[in-house]
């Protein structure tokens, strides 16, 4: 690749560095992700034994649980990055972009968690959806952060967007425990006995426990890879916008079209 851009966003500085410097670091993380996920799939589909009660359907746990963990991790990172943006000493555009990248990855994995939960619930519970406290909270969470992502797309100056979005992220984050609490209450106070009894969890030990642990680690590596790529993309787009604006202004001045005469 003949790119003159390095992955750490140094494109902003305008320094042209050889693209060769980019390749190794990224390949390591990317290769680690692919390897970890490959091993994960083998462990989850072949090595781990089928569950005594649920049979093979329980294998879905090895992707459902890590996906849910990733979603919550991603939204926590968004909240932390938003605090770091709001804190004057650590304020940097980078934190705003990280918050946005992490929220986007979080939304993808929240949706995936819900879909996988459905696929698991169908054979085990007998329904695609159950108004269970965790499912319902996760669904509300998805919409909360879809709203956050929509807010990010409204096109402000980076500073204004940073403030609005950081505050919105923290407000949304604060709402999650309240939603979870109210939904849990709803379930315990009002819900009649439902069609199913077994909960999704099973007590797991041995190979199954190790497989789950490996899955969580693999998904976490994947998270780091995705957020880094997404942040890098956001940085490049931001840099491009700035340069395009600067070029447009320069062109205007050159051709004397500017309304403002200096």
Partner 1 sequence: MRLLREAVLVAGKDLRIEARSRVVFAQVLPFGGIVLVLFAFALDPDRGLLPRVAPGLFWIAVLLASLLAVSRAFAIEADNGARDGLRLSGIDPAAIFLGKTAAVVVELLALEVVLGAGVVILYDVRVTGGPALLLASLAATTGLAATGSVYGVLAAGLRARETLVPLLVLPFVAPVMLGGTRAFEAALGGVTSEAWPWVELLGVFALMATTIGVLVFGPLLEES
Partner 2 sequence: MDDNGGYVIAGFALTGGVLAAYVAWLGVRLRRARRSGAGTEQPRG
By CB under 8 A, name the binding residues for partner 2.
1-5, 11, 14, 16, 37, 41, 44-45, 50, 54-57, 59-60, 63-64, 67, 108, 112, 115-116, 119-120, 122-123, 222, 226, 229-230, 232-233, 236-237, 239-240, 243-244, 246-247, 249-251, 253-254
Cβ 85 to partner 1, closest distance in Å? 12
The angle that helices 158-190 and 61-86 make with each other, rounded to 10 degrees, is 130
Q: Which CB, 72 or 187, lies closer to partner 2?
A: 72
CB of 109 within 8 A of CB of 78?
Answer: no
Instruction: Report, in Å, the least distance between residue 203 CB and partner 2.
Output: 20
Q: What is the DSSP string of 4-60?
A: ---TTSGGGGT----GGGTHHHHHHHHHHHHHHHHHHHHIIIIISPPBTTTBGGGGG
Query: Does 186 contact partner 1 by CB under 8 A?
Result: yes
**CA gap 70, 102 in Å, rounded:** 10
Contact between residue 139 and residue 114 where contact means Cβ atoms under 8 Å apart:
yes
**Minimum CB separation from partner 1 for residue 45, in Å?**
35
* Contacts with partner 1, residue ranges (CB under 8 A): 140, 143-144, 146-148, 150-151, 154-156, 160, 163-164, 167-168, 171-172, 174-175, 178-179, 181-183, 185-186, 189-190
């Amino acid at each position: 690749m003949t790119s003159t851009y390095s992955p750490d966003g140094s494109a902003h500085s305008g320094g042209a560095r050889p693209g060769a410097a980019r390749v190794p670091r990224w390949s390591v993380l990317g290769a680690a992700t692919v390897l970890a996920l490959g091993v994960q799939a083998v462990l989850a589909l072949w090595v781990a034994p089928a569950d005594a009660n649920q049979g093979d359907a329980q294998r879905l746990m090895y992707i459902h649980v890590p996906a849910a963990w990733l979603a919550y991790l991603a939204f926590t990172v968004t909240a932390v990055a938003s605090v770091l943006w709001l804190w004057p000493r650590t304020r940097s555009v980078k934190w705003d972009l990280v918050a946005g990248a992490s929220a986007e990855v979080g939304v993808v994995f929240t949706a995936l968690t819900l879909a996988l939960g459905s696929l698991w619930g169908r054979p085990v519970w007998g329904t695609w959806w159950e108004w269970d406290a965790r499912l319902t909270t996760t669904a509300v969470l998805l919409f909360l952060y879809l709203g956050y992502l929509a807010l990010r797309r409204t096109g402000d100056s980076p500073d204004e967007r940073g403030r609005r979005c950081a505050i919105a992220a923290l407000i949304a984050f604060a709402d999650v425990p309240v939603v979870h609490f109210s939904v849990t209450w709803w379930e315990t106070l009002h819900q009649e006995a439902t069609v199913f009894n077994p909960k999704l969890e099973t007590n797991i030990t041995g190979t199954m426990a190790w497989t789950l642990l490996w899955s969580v680690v693999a998904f976490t590596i994947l998270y780091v890879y995705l957020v880094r790529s997404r942040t890098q993309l956001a940085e490049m787009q931001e840099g491009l916008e700035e340069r395009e604006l600067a070029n447009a202004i320069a062109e205007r001045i050159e051709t004397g079209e500017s309304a403002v005469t200096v």
